[in-house]
Structures are given as structure tokens and as C-alpha cells.
Amino acid sequence: MKRNYLLLLLIFGITSCSISKINQYVKDGKVQRREGRWVEENSSEEGIFISKGRYRDGEKIGIWRTSLNGNRYQREAFRKDLIKTKFYYPNGRIKEKGQSKMERDDDFRHWFYMGDWTHYNKSGQLMYIKTYHKDKKADSVAVRQ
């Protein structure tokens, strides 16, 4: 019985330590930076967007998932300054996918599409591919159905 009690106490202690708070700021001098798990909610004419992911040193990292009115809307994978993005139709199929790049300096951030972006219809068939170089569409290729 004593052994079960100690095991239960150990499990409770481990799980309570692993619970992290969401939407935390870390003060860095006079600046507050976002840190750890975040849930962001934004309203628009389309509805309510809810994004979930993590911040490190005020920057998004890892996988971010966004829903619109409860339906999957977007998935972003952040790795350094590259972002792989997928947008979804309300039926759950991929609408478009590609990657973008973030350039930063002390005052500004510039985000732009880069490379090939593939676009699909609502049934999941490839419609066309757009190619971008530094935020400018370089080429668009239609795909025959």
C-alpha cells in the first residue's frame, strides 16, 4: 500500500510540473517578449480565427495551427526564417501550399512568398502552380484537368 501511495505521489508531482501556462510574456529590459505556448484569437468579417503554437524569444517556432470558426484553416511550420504553409478549404482539403521567407532588421520584418506555390480545387485536384522570387510572381503554370 505504501508503495502504491508513493507511486501515485510521484506521478502527480511529475504531471503537475509539466503543465505550462499559456500566453506568457518574458521581460527583456524594457521590452516584453512572448514565450512558450500561446493561443491567439482574432475576429474578422470571415469569423473567429484561433491560432495555437509556441514562441521563443518573441518569435514563432515549430508548428502553428489556425482554425476559422472551428474548421482547420492554416498550418505553418517555422524553421529559422523559412515558413512552410498550407491553407485548407472548409472541407479539410488543401487549398494551397508553399513556403515563405522572413527577413528582419532592427526596425522591420518583411515576409514574402518564395518558390513554388501549388493551388488545388475543392476536390483536391491540382489547378496551377505559381512561382515567386522575392515576393514577385515569376511564373504561373496551369495544369490540365
Hunting for cell 510540473 — which residue is that?
A: 17
Residue 139 has pLDDT above 80, yes or no: no
**Residue 27 main-chain phi, psi, to 5 deg:** -85, 125
Give the predicted TM-score (pTM) of the model. Answer: 0.78
Query: What is the per-residue pLDDT across 41-75, written as a single tens digit (0 to 9) for each?
Result: 999 999 999 999 999 989 999 999 999 999 999 99
pLDDT at 107: 80
Q: Which of 55, 53, 87 is nearest to 71 (CA)?
A: 87
Residue 10 has pLDDT above 70, yes or no: no
What is the distance in angstroms between the CA of the first residue and the CA of the last residue of the chain?
69
One-letter amino acid of 71: N
Query: What is the per-residue pLDDT across 99-136, written as a single tens digit (0 to 9) for each?
Result: 999 888 878 888 889 999 999 999 999 999 999 987 56
Query: What is the per-residue pLDDT across 68-94, written as a single tens digit (0 to 9) for each?
Result: 999 999 999 999 889 999 999 999 999
pLDDT interval class at 40 (50, 70, 90): very high
DSSP states along the chain: -HHHHHHHHHHHHHHHHH---SSEEEEETTEEEEEEEEEEEEE-SS-EEEEEEEEETTEEEEEEEEEETTEEEEEEEEETTEEEEEEE-TTSSEEEEEEEEEEE-SS-EEEEEEEEEEEE-TTS-EEEEEEEETTEEEEEEE---
Measure the CA–CA gap between 61 and 37, rounded to whole angstroms: 10
